[in-house]
Amino acid sequence: MRILIVGGTGVISSEVVETAVTAGHDVTMVTRGRSTIASTPTQVTSITADATSPAALRTALAGADRYDAVVQCVAFDPLHVSQDVDTFAALTDQYVLVSTSAAYATWERHHHLTEDDPQENLFWEYAALKAEAEVVLRDHATQAGLPFTIVRPAHTYGPSKIPAYTGNSRHPWTIVDRMRSGADVVVPGDGTSLWTLTHARDVATAIVGLLGNPAAAGRAVHITSDEALTWNALYAHIAATAGLSPEQWHAQRLCVPSDALVAAAPTQRGSIYGDKMHPALYDNSVIKELVPGWQARIPFADGIRECVEWFEADPSRQRVDSDANAMFDSLAMIYRRALAEAGA
């Protein structure tokens, strides 16, 4: 198949490129050509353009031959998607929008989310805009006769992204650096809420399996691991990979409520209140039906080892977020003092 990937250097999109090339597809990617994280396979055709700009994308693709599938990884709002429909209606047989599972409404009881659950994130603009983009795609693509598929990854990580609850997105090495330096490591709540993390390679394998699949037309499908771990377990895996003993990790672990984290880092309000403070469990029946034999095969204990090794391979990757460290240190001082006073 001839596949166009809009993006191609992100955590998910870079793995889609690699997976598609390995499967023998003819792959073209559109990026600004600035990434220092993901390398481009030699077999890939690269188009340099601002992939986040529908107008720039349309100009870059003027005169291009038809693609069997387009995977849109960097559309974040309904206007962008509506313009994409105009761009790709005559250019592809399948438009795949990478959306997000963060748009699902949260539940106050044990519940495995399905694709039919409502999308109602009341706190996070990113998730709300993605949900609106899905609505626009269904309406406009149907009118334009453009076959489409929507994929909804959940919290995805990969070699260049070490996941954490908050304060680790900009510079993912921060959490490991705090652990190795002996600093307090903030765990949300009491650390017992269940959370699902999925390796980007598993997500990419599913996405590529959906390409050219007639059964995927008009479908929305989330792609996640079946492994749900508590935040305590997730952080313990990171700590073990970072070289901490169980005793060291126990001494550095500090539970702090989400309300305090939002107060200390207000820009994280949407991500925390609208997503991470709630349990996230998924029913993956649909993706397994559409891509027979697929399942997430990389357990977090193995995936996080790959992440840490990627950062250790090049010290220049080991940048630390000083603002996040200051926020964590301030919170830790408050809560350590409170614990000491409570036990006095």
Is 127 a member of any domain?
yes
In a domain, residue 74? The reply is yes
Over residues 271-312, the pLDDT tens digits come to 999 999 999 999 999 999 999 999 999 999 999 999 999 999
Q: What per-residue confidence (pLDDT) applies to 264?
A: 95
Confidence of residue 34 (pLDDT cuts 50, 70, 90): confident
pLDDT band at 326 (very low <50, low <70, confident <90, very high): very high
Three-state secondary structure of the chain: CEEEEEECCCHHHHHHHHHHHHCCCEEEEEECCCCCCCCCCCCCEEEECCCCCHHHHHHHCCCCCCECEEEECCCCCHHHHHHHHHHHCCCECCEEEECCHHHECCCCCCCEECCCCCECCCCCHHHHHHHHHHHHHHHHHHHHCCCEEEEEECEEEECCECCCCCCCCCCCCHHHHHHHHCCCEEEECCCCCEEEEEEHHHHHHHHHHHCCCHHHCCCEEEECCCCEEEHHHHHHHHHHHCCCCHHHHHHHEEEECHHHHHHHCHHHHHHHHHHHCCCCEECCHHHHHHCCCCCCCCCHHHHHHHHHHHHHCCHHHCCCCHHHHHHHHHHHHHHHHHHHHHCC
Residue-wise pLDDT for 190-240, tens only, equals 999 999 999 999 999 999 999 999 999 999 999 999 999 999 999 999 999
Name the domain boundary from 187, 207, 223: 223
pLDDT at residue 33 tops 90: no
Give residue 343's pLDDT band: very low, low, confident or very high (50, 70, 90).
Answer: confident
For residue 344, name the pLDDT band (cuts at 50, 70, 90): low
Instruction: Determine the pLDDT at residue 94.
Output: 98
**185 and 201 assigned to the same domain:** no
* Domain assignment of residue 167, yes or no: no
Indicate whether 84 belongs to any domain.
yes
Same domain? 191 vs 201: no
Report if residue 245 sits inside a domain. Answer: yes
Q: Is residue 341 part of a domain?
A: no
Q: What is the mean pLDDT of residues 255-261?
A: 96
Q: For residue 247, what are the domain limits?
A: 174-195+228-280+301-335
**Into how many domains does the chain fold?**
2
pTM of the model: 0.96
